[in-house]
């Protein structure tokens, strides 16, 4: 599969096209860093946007949810969806209100999801969800049983029609505004991970694992 995703009428960036990115490496880095995607879809003339967890496995986005979920049932039935993911890297404060902005990295994916029926593939997808949130956690926990697998629907969305949009850098003001006596600049924004808090029902002889104690979600500088 090409490492550059072909632009389509849906994915072509028209507003500030210089911020558009179509290579899989950039798109996958954004997907791998974020936790939540928003799934947009239309049912019976009504449009919904639902936040949900996800994981990436190769060239596919995996989405899971309750087997009773209307969103999951409709997606499994082959409706078209639009999935978005956004990371905020900074607040951009310009000298004018009009030019205030944010530094961000975002991804939009269009497509039709596929229902994962094979039990081994489903099991592997659940492993991917767990590892996306907390690497090394899957091997440390009780694994899903048959009842839990049955209660969970897993869908695969091929990352074939997608694009990223990225803004970096300083404020961009009108030339005459640079002389104004107004502070301007960027306030960096990062996801902060605080020290873990043990479950109050945890047995005293169970030590905190290194992956929890040393957890980080630092951005890989591009």
Mind giving me the DSSP string for 10-61? TT---SSGGGEE-BHHHHHHHHHH--EEEEEEEETTEEEEEEEEEEEETTEE
Cα distances from 222 to residues 4, 21, 27, 151, 167, in angstroms, run 17, 12, 12, 40, 12
Digit-coded pLDDT (tens) for 153-180: 999 999 999 999 999 999 999 999 999 9
Q: Which pLDDT score is estimated for 20? A: 87
Q: Which pLDDT score is estimated for 188? A: 97
CATH code for the domain defined by 17-213: 2.30.110.10
Q: Which residues pair with 41 in a beta bridge?
A: 48
Q: Which pLDDT score is estimated for 1? A: 56
Cα distances from 135 to residues 52, 98, 201, 210, in angstroms, run 19, 42, 23, 11
Q: Give residue limits of the domains in the chain.
A: 17-213
Q: Which pLDDT score is estimated for 221? A: 43
Q: Which pLDDT score is estimated for 131? A: 96
Report pTM. Answer: 0.91
Q: Which pLDDT score is estimated for 218? A: 62
Along the chain (222 residues), what's the average pLDDT of each consecutive run of 10 residues? Answer: 84 86 95 97 95 96 93 93 98 98 98 94 96 96 94 96 97 98 97 94 96 79 40
Cα distances from 180 to residues 2, 46, 97, 107, 174, in angstroms, run 48, 48, 13, 36, 11
């Amino acid at each position: 599969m090409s490492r550059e995703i072909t632009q389509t009428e849906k994915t072509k960036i028209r507003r500030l096209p210089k911020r558009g990115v179509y290579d899989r490496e950039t798109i996958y880095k954004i997907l791998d860093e974020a936790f939540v995607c928003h799934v947009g879809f239309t049912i019976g003339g009504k449009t919904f946007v639902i936040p949900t967890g996800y994981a990436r496995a190769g060239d596919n986005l995996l989405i899971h949810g309750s087997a009773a979920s209307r969103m999951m049932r409709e997606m499994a039935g082959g409706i078209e969806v639009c999935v978005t993911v956004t990371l905020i890297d900074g607040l951009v404060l310009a000298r004018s209100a009009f030019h205030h902005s944010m530094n961000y990295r975002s991804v939009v994916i269009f497509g039709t999801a596929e229902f994962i029926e094979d039990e081994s593939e489903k099991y592997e997808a659940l492993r991917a969800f767990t590892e996306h949130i907390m690497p090394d956690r899957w091997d440390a926990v009780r694994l899903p049983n048959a009842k839990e697998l049955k209660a969970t629907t897993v869908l695969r969305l091929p990352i074939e029609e997608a694009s990223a949009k990225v803004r970096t850098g300083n404020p961009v003001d009108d030339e005459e505004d640079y002389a104004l006596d107004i502070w301007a600049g960027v306030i960096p924004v990062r996801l902060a991970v605080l020290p873990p808090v043990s479950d109050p029902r945890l047995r005293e002889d169970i030590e905190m694992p290194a992956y929890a104690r040393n957890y980080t979600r630092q951005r890989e500088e591009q």
